[in-house]
Amino acid sequence: MSLLKLQQIQKTFNEGTPDEKVALGNINLHLKPGDFVTIIGSNGAGKSTMMNMISGALTPDYGRISIDGKDVTALPEFKRSQYIGRVFQDPMAGTAPSMTIEENIALAYSRNKPRGLRMGVTKKRRDIFRTALERLHLNLENRLGAKVGLLSGGERQALSLLMATFTQPSILLLDEHTAALDPSRATLITQLTKELVAQDQLTTLMVTHNMQQALDLGNRLIMMDKGQIILEVEEQRKPHLTIPDLMAEFEAIRGEKMNSDRALLG
């Protein structure tokens, strides 16, 4: 039983113009519950397009997407996001800067229930929020009333991650969520990702430019190029995989050297 199923997904941008670009050509992907898939590939490989397809920000030209057996292809983003948590690359993108930490978490808290005229932050909820924030070890639990705009990029990204996973969504999408942070903050967020995903056994898709990160995290790995999934590494093989292996695979498939420095060194 697949939790997330992409079947024959195709998407072309600017169709019929000189700028026509096939962003995704016939993507098939199945995720079991608890799978943690890392996605690598050079710029323009279609990684972000695929994430946007799953989240509902883009709709495919052709193909079918289902979550937990339910066809969600035509479901708009805001409805689909009941099941999907998402962290963006930009640390500013996942939180509301002019609202306080507790108000931001309250927004995440009411993700999968209809929002009504109840108070967003109550005493009882505040206790829940505080306990959750303790998992980040950033002392944010004592700054519940601080505006999120005052936090550093790393703190905001940690908060985004907590908020995205707060209601234990069926699927967690991580879109290069450590790429905009300095190395020490990136390590912290990577560590938190590992912890949060493991604790709640979240089914996760993570795009990264960092090959080492792609190897360290998750139980499966896929490599994309020019709108195709060109390599799928399954659970049994992934722990033994190295960066040279990946580069050799790429050469063997594409008959050319991997040319993106960023993809190599990340």
Q: Which residues bind another protein (CB under 8 A)?
A: 55, 77-82, 84-86, 88, 92-99, 103-104, 106-108, 110-112, 115-121, 163-164
Residue length, the chain?
A: 266
Q: Which is nearer to another protein, 28 or 168 (CB)?
A: 168
CA distances from 178 to 117, 209, 214, 265 (A): 36, 10, 12, 14
Q: Which is nearer to another protein, 68 or 249 (CB)?
A: 68
DSSP code for 30: E
Q: How far is the CB of 237 from another protein (least distance, A)?
A: 33
Q: Which is nearer to another protein, 68 or 103 (CB)?
A: 103
Q: How far is the CB of 236 from another protein (least distance, A)?
A: 34
DSSP code for 20: -
Q: How far is the CB of 132 from another protein (least distance, A)?
A: 15
C-alpha–C-alpha distance, residues 214 and 206, integer Å: 8
Q: Which is nearer to another protein, 83 or 250 (CB)?
A: 83
3-state secondary structure of 206: strand
CA angle 196, 197, 202 (to 5 degrees): 130
Q: Which is nearer to another protein, 8 or 152 (CB)?
A: 152
Q: How far is the CB of 256 from another protein (least distance, A)?
A: 36
Q: How far is the CB of 222 from another protein (least distance, A)?
A: 23
What are residue 38's DSSP bridge partners?
Answer: 206, 221
What residues have CB less than 8 Å from 225, skipping those under 6 apart? 41, 42, 45, 250, 254
